[in-house]
A and B are shown apart, each in its own frame.
Chain A
């Protein structure tokens, strides 16, 4: 009872806020800095990349959005490729598929590869792979039947 009375004196709104668990409080604090003015109250440390590296945060956010936009575009290309196959769709499909795969594999790399050198090597490898893939698909579109026709022929077997 005494504990409630003491805590409620800290809360302007009475006892109720005491029982609200703030997710900010449970976040691990990486920098153990003592704020002397705030010693009597817990300070939540948050990540605020917006304040420090505004352009990085904006770039990451735009990349995320671009990934989703490309996904929707690729989704729409399915029926288009089926109903009106041709060179325009072939090259668009080559570009969209390669880029979607490149960005997707990039996320896989980010998740599983750690350490600056390893990340650099893996990213370079991925870039080479995606470039070769796009080159190969364009070569196929130009010198051979093209992606749409290839799928149609494969499926007719």
Chain B
């Protein structure tokens, strides 16, 4: 008997529509929004000075996880670079050509210039291609795990190829 129960339970089919689940017919709204609940969680736990449980330090890293945080990291870096450029434009005395000539005069060497160009091109390409991948998820496509990995590798490959192409351009 227990064997029969276990065989069925292992199938674990999930149905989110309440009216299909005879055991849980009643669905009642909570008296608060998700945001309020989250704020309550944080205020209570910071007030009690509780440490945060280890999470990213102990969980096994996966390609999707790394790609996701890289998307965020490249986004922050690109935004920071644009802001730095804008502040420099407002604050620094000379004009753009002046500073370009300044960099030229440093005679850095082709490989270092190539490296710098790659350093600019790669975050931009990666963020753009992964952004397209995100937009595909937003319309509901590509959620199956094999697809997540496949599209992830495509993004990585395209980013490297595009960056290299931009460097030699």
Contact = CB atoms under 8 A, between A and B. Distances in A.
A105 B88 CA distance: 20
Given A47-B37, A52-B29, A144 B13 contact: no
Contact of B86 (A23, A132, A157): A132
Given A75-B132, A136-B85, A145 B169 contact: no
Interface residues of B, number: 61
A121 interface: no
Given A21-B12, A21-B14, A43-B28, A105 B87 contact: no
A145 to B, nearest CB: 5
Q: Is the interface of B mostly helix, strand, loop or mixed?
A: helix
Interface string B26-57: 11111111100101101100100000000000
Interface residues on A, range: 35 or more
Q: Is the interface of A mostly helix, strand, loop or mixed?
A: helix
Interface of B: 1, 5, 8-9, 11-16, 18, 20-34, 37, 39-40, 42-43, 46, 72, 75-76, 78-79, 82-83, 85-90, 95-97, 100, 103-104, 113, 117, 128, 131-132, 134-135, 138, 166, 169
26 contacts: A4-B5, A17-B21, A17-B22, A19-B12, A22-B16, A23-B14, A23-B16, A41-B24, A42-B26, A43-B28, A46-B29, A47-B32, A48-B29, A49-B33, A52-B29, A52-B31, A75-B132, A104-B76, A132-B90, A133-B83, A137-B85, A137-B86, A139-B89, A144-B95, A154-B100, A157-B100
